[in-house]
Chain A
Amino acid sequence: MVEVNASGSNGGMTITDTAPTRHRVDPLTADGLVKRYGQVVALGGVNVHIAPGESVAIMGPSGSGKSTLLHCLSGILPPDEGRVTLGAVELSALSDAHRSRLRLQRFGFVFQDGQLIGELPARENVALPLLLTGVPRGAALRQADDWLARLGLPGIGGRRPGELSGGQAQRVAIARALIHAPSVIFADEPTGALDQATGHEVMQILRATARMTGSTLVLVTHDLQVARWCERLIEIRDALVHSDTRTEA
């Protein structure tokens, strides 16, 4: 059982592991990744190996290629050269439709501004990955309610994103990313739109829930304080891995 006590702007909360279904967690590997945008080289031959269940922060100055690396690792963008593998599956060899299916089934995403669907209430936003993979509506909504409660948001399932605070919306996005117990959670500046206290709270939840589900966590951030929540810090500079170090997390 994992238990986290967080005291942020929304009060304390307790996250307990009530045994969500877990997917197999595989290592994620990038070999010789090259990605260009026209004449600009965003990745110039990047090699990364991420172990199952590891938490990794990718940092770097603006334009260094860190978001491009996350997009290639997650199969959002196909690399121009090199390959990305999740266990035995080579993402870079899959078709666009297959990569989409893989992202839906085995990955979870948290973006800077949540990117929830405005018309759907929080509960349905969270349940969406399950509904799209064929889980019956009632069961999907029950799991969504469980996750919202787990993340300290009981009773807000009926509210639409426009009626939530930034921190609440980000926690809903985290619940959506985790509801199907993904192998890997990709977070792109997850605290970028939040104040420091709420950002701290969101990171605490993200880290704890990733541990709870055994998921690998890969996040991109500008903020060293945020990066320190992860066990490992990869710094990208000029389209290459500049350093790869362990933190004290």
Chain B
Amino acid sequence: MTTTIGLSTRLARARLRDARGAGVLDGFAVLAFAVTAWMAFVVTSGTWAFAQRRVAPPQSLSAFDTETVTLMTNTYVILAGIACALLIAPVLSLGGAAARLGARGRARRLAALRLVGMTGGQVVTMSVIESVVQAAVGLLVGAAAWALSLPLLAMLRFQGTTFSVAELVLPWYLWLGVAAVLLALAAASTALGLSRVRISPLGVARQQTTPRLRAWRVAALAVGAVAIVVGGRVITGSSGALIGGLVFVGLLGFGIAMVNLIAPWLLQVLARVGLRVGSPAWLLGNRRIAADPKAAWRNVSSLALTGAVVGMLCVIPLDSSVLAGVDELNLMLLTDIRTGAVVTLVIALIVGAASTALAQCSDVVDRADELVALDRIGVPRSLDAAARRHQVMVPLLSTLVLSMGLGVLAALPFTATFPQRFALGPSSLLVLAGSLVGATLLTVLAAEATRPLRARALSTQVRRND
């Protein structure tokens, strides 16, 4: 074990000196773990704050009777828990992406170590140690970012009042619990990632072609869509607005699960259709999507949540004129759902952009040899950048359109129950357009983040053993 740790340390130092940017990936991995930890702490501390308010309700709720306050504070804990559940997948996915960074290059290096006599167990252990160390550093950075952002989070207004920093501070056992989950995730993602390739002394033996995704996913989508509409109408028809809200959010989660099922297949179909038209960059971008649609989907999957939230916002009132006449309790609830949705949206955008940047940077380092070869045959350097833009934009735009549609679909039971309360107001359109533009800009910026790495790979004049 001591030898493994020692070797791991020496290799990490060598990577940091690598001219083609392998060391930069270590930095990106730490950054990704930091974002993951930051978001995990933010989401957990928000939920914790609502749990605190269940025990000690804020002064702003004193106008309501005890029974109403209890019902309301319990509801907020459940809603926060659901928001947590919705964000767990993208946050964990980002952590997993960090653990898989530069996987191809890493697998080649590990194959060389197998050749000189290390066992399969030793190389996996070494990689897991590397990931856990990176995750631990990221965890500390993320925790610091969370602590620094507490005053900002405390400015959020829920239940008629802002949070206090004390409400948001996590108790030590919860903090340690989140940290332990994040470190375990890093270790598990690495071990799982390496199990997908057989690292033999002769190299990565399995570079198999990803099988095509099948069309049964469409049938599952149709069944799911019907279930959302019918289930939503049946349940909300016999319950109050509060329960309806819970059903609404639950159905939203179900809608996102369906998006996860259909989206990779749809991306594959779109990419294959797109092959027939457009420039070489368009061709290459679509080929990359079609070659591994699940990977393309992973890059933008967290934005499905963004799309669904935006879809939901289209039918939840945002304008005071629409809200006039609503009783105080429901007004507070609707306002807070709106605030929660915007917060969720911002988190999803950050996570989505970080995931895309990570995946693209990792891909550039993994493809360094291919980039150099293409450059040598005279392929314009702009081709890879343009292909990457297509590669992220096609999944991004199709994801947003599909998930927003499902978000609207999930909100339909509400529009049926209170048709006069739900309308597409000017501020709804503003949020809709702003989200689309924001998501697009962030994702394009994330793709462009690969430029320095690509330039570094291409500018390196490695003297071959000629």
Contact = CB atoms under 8 A, between A and B. Distances in A.
A128 B466 contact: no
Contact of A37 (B208, B209, B381, B463): B463
Interface in A62-112: 62-68, 71, 74, 76-77, 97, 99-105, 107-109, 111
B210 to A, nearest CB: 10
Given A100-B375, A104-B378, A120 B466 contact: no
A128 B373 CA distance: 13
Contact of A103 (B284, B291, B376, B461): B376
A115 B372 CA distance: 9
Q: Which of B283, B375, B377, B381 has the most CB of A within 10 A?
A: B377
Nearest to A97: B380
Given A63-B465, A67-B466, A163-B209, A104 B370 contact: no
A50 interface: no
Interface string B110-149: 0000000000000000000000000000000000000000
Nearest to A163: B209
A120 B284 contact: yes
B466 A64 contact: yes
A118 interface: yes
B370 A118 contact: yes
Contacts of B235: none
Q: Which of A66, A101, A111 has the most CB of B within 10 A?
A: A111
A129 interface: yes
Contact of A162 (B208, B290, B373): B208
A76 to B, nearest CB: 5
Contacts of A129: 377-378
Classify chain B's interface size: 20 to 34
A220 B461 CA distance: 18
A62 B466 contact: yes
Interface in B211-252: none
A101 B378 CA distance: 6
A42 interface: yes
A224 to B, nearest CB: 17
A132 interface: yes
B126 to A, nearest CB: 27
Given A104-B380, A129-B377, 16 more contacts: A60-B466, A62-B465, A67-B466, A68-B463, A68-B466, A77-B461, A103-B377, A117-B374, A120-B284, A131-B283, A132-B379, A137-B276, A137-B283, A160-B291, A162-B209, A220-B466
Lowest 10 A-B CB distances belong to which pairs?
A: A104-B378, A103-B378, A67-B466, A115-B373, A119-B291, A119-B287, A131-B280, A37-B463, A109-B377, A100-B378
Interface of A: 37, 40, 42, 60, 62-68, 71, 74, 76-77, 97, 99-105, 107-109, 111, 115, 117-120, 124, 128-129, 131-132, 137, 160, 162-163, 176-177, 220
17 contacts: A62-B466, A65-B466, A67-B464, A68-B463, A71-B376, A74-B376, A97-B380, A101-B378, A102-B378, A105-B378, A108-B377, A111-B373, A128-B280, A128-B379, A131-B283, A132-B380, A177-B377
